[in-house]
C-alpha cells in the first residue's frame, strides 16, 4: 500500500512498530485478537486494526502539501477535512478557512471566493451542485480533491446499476457530508432515497408492499428522496449502497431485509431476484471492515472497560463505541487530555453527543483490564498519548518504555 507523507506529529514510532509486528505475524489478516500490553497493575489490550486509513492519510497529505506549495494563496476547505479535532485545528492554525460546517451550514459566503483561491474538497467528497459552483467560478478542483477512493467506489457502483435501470437506496446518516455527497451523485443518474436505519427501512418496505398509502411517503421521507421520485414506480427495482463508515452488520441486515421483501412481494426466486434487486456487493471500505472486525475480536477478551478514541462527530468511531457498549462499560474520548490526574474522565455519548464527567472511571481491582481502539481519522500519536497517560496513573511508564524499546529495536 502507498506510503503517505503526513506530519510526524500524527505518527507514533511505537504504534508503527506494533502494527508492523502484527502485520508480519498475520499477513493475511485472519487474526483479530488484540495486542496485550502488560503494564503491571494495568493490562491494555489494543485492537488488531485501528487508526488512520488510506483515505484519511491521502487527504492529509494533499492538504498539507497544498499549504506548503501555496504560501501566497488563500486556501479554503469546503468543510472539515476529516472528523478529527486535532487535524482540523492544525489546518486552521496553518491559515486554512472552512467554508461550511460539518452539516453544510455556510460559514463563509461562496461569493467571497474567486478563481485565484484554492478550495480543498474533503475526504467525504461533495455534491455535484457545489462542484459546479466552484468550477463556474474558475476554481480548479481536481488537483485539490481529497475525496476518499472508497467513497468514489460507492458512487461508481451507483452509476453502474443506474445504467441498468435500478433506483438507489442509500443506507447512511442523512446529514453526514458523505451521505449528502453520495445522494447527490446517485440522484444525478437514478431515483434515490436515503434510509438511516432498520426502522426506516421497514417503513420504506411498506410502500413497496402497498401497506402504506403512497402519498405518505413524501412526508415521511421529506428531504431524503431525489427530485421527481415516484414511490409507486421507483421502488419496483433498486439496489442498496451505503455511507462507507456505517456498521457492516447494519448495512447487510438492511440489504437482506429489502431483498427478502422484494422476493416475497414479487414472488421471485434466487434465479430471478436480480430482475428487481441489484447485487451491489459490499461497499464498505476496507478500514471500516477491519476496524469493526478487530473490535469484535477484541471484545472476546475478558476486560473491565473499553476506551474508544476519535472525533466526536466521526461516524466510523461512533460505531466502534456502539459495538463496545454492547459488551462492557465504554468511554468515548478524543484525546489524552480527557483522562484527568484525579482518576476521572471527560467523555462523550456517541448518540446524543452530550459530554459527561465521570469520577473514578477505573475499577478498584488489580489488574485493571482495559480495551483500546480508535477511529479511522484518529492519529496514532493520540493513541500513544492515551496509553502513556494511563501508564503514568499506574506508575507503569518504565514498563511501557521497555515495551516500546523492544518493539522499535526489532523493526
Contacts of 272 (CB under 8 A, 6+ apart): none
**Rounded to whole angstroms, how far apart are CA atoms 208 and 238?**
11
Q: For the chain, how many residues are written?
A: 411
Q: What are phi and psi of 76, to 5 degrees?
A: -120, 155
Strand order in the sheet with 167-171: 192-195, 167-171, 238-242
Out of 3.40.50.720, 3.65.10.10, 2.40.30.10, 3.40.50.11270, the CATH code matching 54-144 is 3.40.50.11270
- Maximum Cα–Cα distance for the chain, whole Å? 68
- Overall fold of domain 149-275: Cobalt-precorrin-4 Transmethylase; domain 1 (3.40.1010)
65: closest CA among 36, 89, 94? 94
Q: What are the angstrom distances between the C-alpha of 339 and each of 3, 243, 335?
A: 32, 32, 8
In three-state secondary structure terms, 331 is strand
**Rounded to whole angstroms, how far apart are CA atoms 310 and 207?**
38
Q: Which helix (H) or strand (E) holds 132?
A: helix 128-136
- How many C-beta atoms lie closer than 10 Å to residue 65's C-beta? 14
Domain boundary assignment for the chain: 8-53+286-409, 54-144, 149-275
- Going residue by residue through the chain, which has 411 residues, state the pLDDT in tens, using 9 for 90 and above: 677 899 999 999 999 999 999 999 999 889 999 999 999 999 999 999 999 999 999 999 999 999 999 999 999 999 988 889 999 999 999 999 999 998 889 999 999 999 999 999 999 999 999 999 999 999 999 899 999 999 999 999 999 999 999 999 999 999 999 999 999 999 999 999 999 999 999 999 999 999 999 999 999 999 999 999 999 999 999 999 999 988 888 999 999 999 999 999 999 998 999 999 998 876 767 788 899 999 999 999 999 999 999 999 999 999 999 999 999 999 999 999 999 999 999 999 999 999 999 999 999 999 999 999 999 999 999 999 999 999 999 999 999 999 999 987 776
pLDDT at residue 50 in the model:
96
> Is the whole model's pTM more than 0.95, yes or no?
no
**Rounded to whole angstroms, how far apart are CA atoms 125 and 141?**
11
**Rounded to whole angstroms, how far apart are CA atoms 298 and 39?**
18
204: closest CA among 246, 248, 156, 255? 255
pLDDT at residue 289 in the model:
86
**Residue that is written with C-alpha cell 446517485 in the block:** 186
Q: Which helix (H) or strand (E) holds 369?
A: strand 368-374
**What dotted CATH number matches 8-53+286-409?**
3.40.1010.20
For residues 153 and 129, is the Cβ–Cβ distance under 8 A? no
Beta partners for residue 232, in sequence order: none
Beta partners for residue 356, in sequence order: 347
**Rounded to whole angstroms, how far apart are CA atoms 94 and 97?**
9
**Rounded to whole angstroms, how far apart are CA atoms 195 and 146?**
26
In three-state secondary structure terms, 307 is strand
The three three-digit cell numbers of residue 351, written as one number: 448518540
Catalytic, out of 80, 131, 177, 178:
178
Q: Is 178 a catalytic residue?
A: yes
Concatenate the DSSP letters of all residues of 37-65 into one string: EEETTEEEEE-SS-S--HHHHHHHHHHHH
pLDDT at residue 122 in the model:
93
**Rounded to whole angstroms, how far apart are CA atoms 195 and 203?**
9
Amino acid at each position: 500500500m502507498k506510503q503517505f507523507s503526513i506530519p510526524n506529529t500524527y505518527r507514533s514510532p511505537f504504534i508503527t512498530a506494533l502494527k508492523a509486528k502484527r502485520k508480519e505475524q498475520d499477513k493475511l489478516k485472519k487474526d483479530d485478537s488484540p495486542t496485550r500490553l502488560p503494564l503491571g497493575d494495568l493490562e491494555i489490550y489494543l485492537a488488531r486494526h485501528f487508526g488512520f486509513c488510506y483515505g484519511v492519510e491521502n487527504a492529509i497529505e494533499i492538504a498539507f502539501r497544498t499549504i506548503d506549495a501555496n504560501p501566497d494563496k488563500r486556501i479554503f476547505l469546503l468543510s472539515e477535512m476529516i472528523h478529527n479535532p486535532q487535524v482540523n485545528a492544525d489546518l486552521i492554525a496553518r491559515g486554512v478557512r472552512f467554508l461550511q460546517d460539518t452539516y453544510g451550514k455556510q460559514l463563509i459566503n461562496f461569493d467571497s471566493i474567486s478563481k485565484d483561491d484554492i478550495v480543498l474538497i474533503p475526504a467525504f467528497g461533495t455534491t455535484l451542485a457545489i462542484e459546479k459552483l466552484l468550477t463556474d467560478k474558475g476554481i480548479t478542483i481536481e488537483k485539490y480533491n481529497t475525496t476518499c477512493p472508497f467513497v468514489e467506489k460507492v458512487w461508481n457502483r451507483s452509476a453502474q446499476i443506474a445504467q441498468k435501470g435500478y433506483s438507489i437506496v442509500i443506507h447512511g446518516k442523512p446529514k453526514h457530508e458523505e451521505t449528502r455527497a453520495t445522494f447527490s451523485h446517485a440522484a444525478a443518474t437514478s431515483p434515490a432515497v436515503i434510509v438511516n436505519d432498520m426502522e426506516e427501512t421497514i417503513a420504506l418496505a411498506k410502500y413497496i408492499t402497498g401497506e402504506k398509502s403512497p402519498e405518505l411517503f413524501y412526508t415521511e421521507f421529506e428531504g431524503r428522496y431525489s427530485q421527481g421520485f415516484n414511490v409507486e414506480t421507483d421502488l419496483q427495482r433498486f439496489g442498496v449502497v451505503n455511507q462507507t463508515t456505517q456498521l457492516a452488520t447494519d448495512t447487510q441486515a438492511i440489504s437482506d431485509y429489502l431483498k427478502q421483501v422484494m422476493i416475497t412481494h414479487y414472488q421471485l426466486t434466487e434465479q430471478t431476484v436480480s430482475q428487481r434487486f441489484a447485487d451491489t456487493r459490499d461497499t464498505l471500505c476496507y478500514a471500516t471492515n477491519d476496524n469493526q472486525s478487530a473490535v469484535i475480536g477484541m471484545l472476546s477478551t475478558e476486560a473491565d472497560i473499553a476506551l474508544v478514541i476519535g472525533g466526536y462527530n466521526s461516524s466510523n468511531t461512533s460505531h466502534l463505541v456502539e459495538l463496545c457498549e454492547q459488551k462492557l462499560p465504554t468511554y468515548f474520548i478524543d484525546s489524552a487530555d480527557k483522562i484527568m490526574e484525579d482518576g476521572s474522565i471527560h467523555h462523550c455519548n456517541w448518540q446524543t453527543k452530550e459530554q459527561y464527567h465521570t469520577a473514578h472511571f477505573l475499577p478498584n481491582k488489580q489488574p485493571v483490564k482495559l480495551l483500546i481502539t480508535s477511529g479511522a481519522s484518529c492519529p496514532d500519536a493520540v493513541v500513544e498519548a492515551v496509553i502513556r497517560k494511563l501508564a503514568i496513573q499506574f506508575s507503569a511508564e518504565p514498563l511501557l518504555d521497555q515495551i516500546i524499546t523492544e518493539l522499535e529495536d526489532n523493526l
